[in-house]
Amino acid sequence: MTGPAAAPPTFTPGPDAMAHLELILNGACPLPGFMTASETASVVKRGRLPDGTPWPVPVTLPVPDELVGAERVTLTDAEGAPLAELTVSERWWAGSLPWRVNGETSGHRLAGEVHLARPPVHGVYRSLRRAPAEVRGSREIGALAHRPMLAVLTDRPLHHRALHQIRTAIKEVGRGGPVEVLLLIDAPFDDEGAVPAVLAAEPLLPPRSRFAVLTLPRAETTDGIAPPEGRTELLAAHVAAAYGASHLLINRDPDQPPAVPVPGAPVRIVAPAAWAYDIRAGAWRLADRVTAGESRSELTPTEVEDLLGRGETLPAWFTSSRVSAELARRRPARVRRGLTLFFTGLSGSGKSTIARGVADAIRRSGRTVTLLDGDVVRRMLSSGLTFSRSDRDLNVRRIGYVAAEIGRHGGVAVCAPIAPYAATRAEVRAMAEDTGDFFLVHVATPLEVCEARDRKGLYAKARLGEIPEFTGISDPYEAPGDADLVIDTTTATEAESVATVVEALRAGGWLPRMAG
């Protein structure tokens, strides 16, 4: 007799593959699972599957080496709950794709059908992550399926310009008749994104507008090669069609090129009307009706962030008070916003000493601060980890996770690990910026100065080979190119270095200005 079959290995897909998986499971993507090599090649080259079915972007599942031989794989959410089971039909190496797919351009892929294990529960605003069949069914029950439906895809708030564009599109689509409106809000799984700000604009939308939250995969460029023109718009059009839309309007920032009709789209992509604010009339008007020199365009995201960071109210000509209040809630003034202050540098560079001094200054300013020093974290949070590259990366990620949680609740986390690798620092930045702000300080004290100090005798041991993989001696330190502040403690005193960092935080708005 043979024993019971071994349980398949589990795997949590990356963000883009997870987005594809949910689109497959909810029916927005008309595929049974992840693509084979030939299917991917056909889609990349022609925008069609080998059988001629139109589909604009590859749907692939990147996996680590240890899963290449698996026959079945249980795909889970970030918390480990099973979502689906993949029956592997092909294992293939992606080679070099012409643009970044699922966050990378090469690596192992598994192809095959996926079967739902249980309905997903992960992701914020889960109650609004409505399946296409649910939306279509509710329209049919209400005898509304005969009406045209305008889907509005947005991953940003609906300011006055966007609301005017939606109203103009409704008139164009309906030609005087009633039109259903569906807001498709593209938001990350683990973050509320623009959802609250979009919902805040509901009173300004047509009555009974519907909302559905989804997560679309990102097709990024690599080496300057972008996806063929129109592919991202086509993906949005296919998803909108699955929800029963007849037309699609894509809301973009004013500094981005507008989405325009694309040949082969399953629904008509409506080109947004150009609107501008008429300064003299004090109203938004179609841009071609505003006299040159008397108009102004919508604020850019950078301008919005700057106003919010200073604690200022967004102007009424730009957005509604409800949307403004929601954005202010999510992005309070920097002096009240969570912050990860991250020091990186060689051992002996002075980063821990400076970090302690800066933490004291932040505390005196009245802000809540937590110091996550590298050595202390090693003892309290990462006890048992070695100094291998993988364990050092894990230590830094743990620091980043704790710092991000501190930032989520409005606190300041001051971190001072060596953090020698750029990729890991980028992960920490991403975690921190999901919940607050991130400020990177490179303590760029030269190696020879750090080694001369060597109060712990570590460099001497590394030179003798007693400490393997020691940063700066037998392992590299990747100097950051994205530091917000660079300081060198070779000649600067501790007090001078602390003052430099504190003044940078005050200038950025994270600390209150001194009275007088």
**Listed range (123-127, 312-316, 361-365) with the worst mean pLDDT:** 123-127
What's the average model confidence in pLDDT over 390-409?
A: 91
**Listed range (64-73, 85-94, 136-145, 192-201) with the worst mean pLDDT:** 136-145
pTM comes to 0.83
Confidence at 172, pLDDT banded by 50, 70, 90: very high
Question: In DSSP terms, which residues pair with 85 in a beta bridge?
Answer: 74, 115
Q: Does 71 have pLDDT greater than 60?
A: yes
Distance from first CA to last CA of the chain, Å, rounded? 86
Q: Does 403 have pLDDT greater than 70?
A: yes
CA distance 145 to 140: 5
CA distance 355 to 350: 9
- Residues 189-226: pLDDT tens digits? 888 889 999 999 999 999 889 999 999 987 654 444 56
What's the average model confidence in pLDDT over 397-426?
A: 94
Residues written for the chain: 516
Per-domain residue ranges for the chain?
Answer: 10-116, 126-330, 334-508
378 or 12, which is more confident: 12
Q: Does 109 have pLDDT greater than 90?
A: yes
Phi-psi region of 486 (alpha: psi -120 to 50; beta: other; left: phi over 0): beta
Instruction: Evaluate whether 494 touches 319 at the Cβ level (below 8 Å).
Output: no
- Residues 75-103: pLDDT tens digits? 999 889 999 999 999 999 987 666 555 55
Q: Does 45 have pLDDT greater than 90?
A: no
Confidence at 107, pLDDT banded by 50, 70, 90: confident
Q: Is the dihedral of CA 110, 116, 121, 127 positive or negative?
A: positive
CA distance 83 to 18: 10
In the sheet that holds 339-344, the strands lie side by side as 369-373, 412-416, 339-344, 437-443, 485-487
Q: Rounded mean pLDDT of the chain?
A: 90
Run of H or E residues at 451 = helix 447-453
pLDDT of residue 228: 77
pLDDT of residue 3: 52
**Which residues are known binding-site members?**
345-352
Instruction: Please list, in sequence order, all residues whose beta carbon lies within 8 angstroms of the beta carbon of residue 182, skipping any fewer than 6 positions away.
Output: 135, 149, 150, 151, 152, 209, 210, 211, 212, 240, 243, 244, 245
What's the average model confidence in pLDDT over 229-254?
A: 93
What's the average model confidence in pLDDT over 136-157?
A: 86
Instruction: Please list, in sequence order, all residues whose beta carbon lies within 8 angstroms of the beta carbon of residue 166, skipping any fewer than 6 positions away.
Output: 150, 152, 158, 181, 205, 249
Instruction: Please list, in sequence order, all residues whose beta carbon lies within 8 angstroms of the beta carbon of residue 202, skipping any fewer than 6 positions away.
Output: 209, 211
Using a 10 angstrom Cβ sphere, with 0-12 exposed, 13-18 middle and 19 or more buried, the burial of residue 371 is: buried
Question: In DSSP terms, which residues pair with 344 in a beta bridge?
Answer: 442
Instruction: Evaluate whether 102 touches 37 at the Cβ level (below 8 Å).
Output: no
Question: In DSSP terms, which residues pair with 250 in a beta bridge?
Answer: 153
DSSP codes joined into one string, 208-260: T-EEEEE-PPP-B-BTTBPPPTTHHHHHHHHHHHHTT-SEEEE---TTSPPP-
CA distance 120 to 351: 44
Confidence at 374, pLDDT banded by 50, 70, 90: low
CATH of 334-508, one of 3.50.50.60, 2.30.30.170, 3.90.1010.10, 3.40.50.300: 3.40.50.300
pLDDT of residue 454: 84
Phi-psi region of 505 (alpha: psi -120 to 50; beta: other; left: phi over 0): alpha
Is 10-116's fold the same as 126-330's?
A: no
% the chain with pLDDT above 90: 69
121 or 490, which is more confident: 490
CA-only gyration radius of the chain, Å = 26
CA distance 371 to 369: 7
**Listed range (347-356, 381-390, 402-411) with the worst mean pLDDT:** 381-390
CA distance 342 to 431: 12
pLDDT of residue 466: 84
Confidence at 384, pLDDT banded by 50, 70, 90: low
**Listed range (220-224, 247-251, 427-431, 442-446) with the worst mean pLDDT:** 220-224
Given CATH 3.10.400.10, say whether it is the number of domain 10-116.
Answer: yes
pLDDT of residue 375: 67
Run of H or E residues at 117 = none
pLDDT of residue 255: 79
Phi, psi of 482 (to 5 degrees): -120, 20
What's the average model confidence in pLDDT over 5-32?
A: 92
pLDDT of residue 380: 67
**Which residues are known binding-site members for ATP?**
345-352
Question: Distance from CA of residue 70 to its chain's centroid?
Answer: 30
Confidence at 105, pLDDT banded by 50, 70, 90: low
- Residues 447-495: pLDDT tens digits? 999 999 987 888 888 888 888 888 888 889 999 999 999 999 999 999 9
Which homologous superfamily is 126-330 in?
Answer: HUPs (3.40.50.620)
72 or 467, which is more confident: 72
Secondary structure of residue 462 in the 3-state scheme? helix
What's the average model confidence in pLDDT over 486-508?
A: 95
CA distances from 353 to 30, 392, 470 (A): 57, 21, 21
CA distance 60 to 62: 6
Tokens of 353: 């000493």
pLDDT of residue 224: 44
CA distance 269 to 286: 20
pLDDT of residue 176: 81
